[in-house]
Amino acid sequence: MTGTAPATRVVELPTGWVRDHLHEVLAIYGAAMGYGESVVAGRYGYAVQHTERAGFRAVGAFTETAREDGAEGERLVGFGYGYLVAPGQWWHDQVRNAMDRRTAKQWLPGAFEVCELHVLPEHQSRGIGRQLLHALVEGVPAPVALLSTPDTDTKAFRLYHADGFVDLARGYHFPGDARPFAILGARLPLLSSPRNP
């Protein structure tokens, strides 16, 4: 973290707050992933459905910012959310196909899916993503956390591997996406990391 980085607080976001601020939340998703407006707009309905799932939990990172009127304010600069997976959910069933049967049996039942984790580009690499990840899975009623991420050397991949996630499948192609994905899993509670003792 740099000495000039603004103060940031990471908090749990009530589900109602997420629904009320979904455009703001998904704008961070679009900026972090480099997706255009149409992709972000197409995500809206899915995200609403996600907030209705069992075990939904969201966290957000707010930084201090000066508003136009000169008063101090706060801005959402990162968020993460997830929920408990269940058979019949698109992601659950895809991931079950991606894994061998034994791995699926060990990892899927009752798992918490880290569905989204994003930090605005100008706020990345300051420890916010790691704080969000740990806050998101802390205390969730699940034995493991699962996620999928593009199967390349990204900040996300490095973060997950550094903090205890292991490969459950590599090079998996979700329908409609040309990129290969890795499916990763971690036993909960998450391991402490050097920056998160």
Residues marked as catalytic: 160
Helix 128-137 to helix 155-162 angle (10° resolution) is 50
Q: Which residues pair with 193 in a beta bridge?
A: 196
110 Cβ partners below 8 Å, 6+ apart? 84, 142, 143, 144
Going 173 to 56 to 120 to 128, the CA torsion angle's sign is negative
Query: Segment contacting ligand COA (CB under 6 A): 47-55, 102-110, 119-127, 137-145?
Result: 119-127
Q: Looking at 43, 92, 130, 134, which residue binds ligand COA (CB under 6 A)?
A: 130
Query: Segment contacting ligand COA (CB under 6 A): 36-44, 49-57, 87-95, 123-131?
Result: 123-131
Do strands 57-66 and 72-84 pair parallel, antiparallel, or not at all (unpaired)?
A: antiparallel
Nearest approach, Cβ of residue 76 and ligand COA (Å): 13
Q: Looking at 50, 92, 126, 134, which residue binds ligand COA (CB under 6 A)?
A: 126
Determine if 33 is a binding residue for ligand COA (CB under 6 A): yes
Nearer residue to ligand COA within complex by CB, 22 or 33: 33
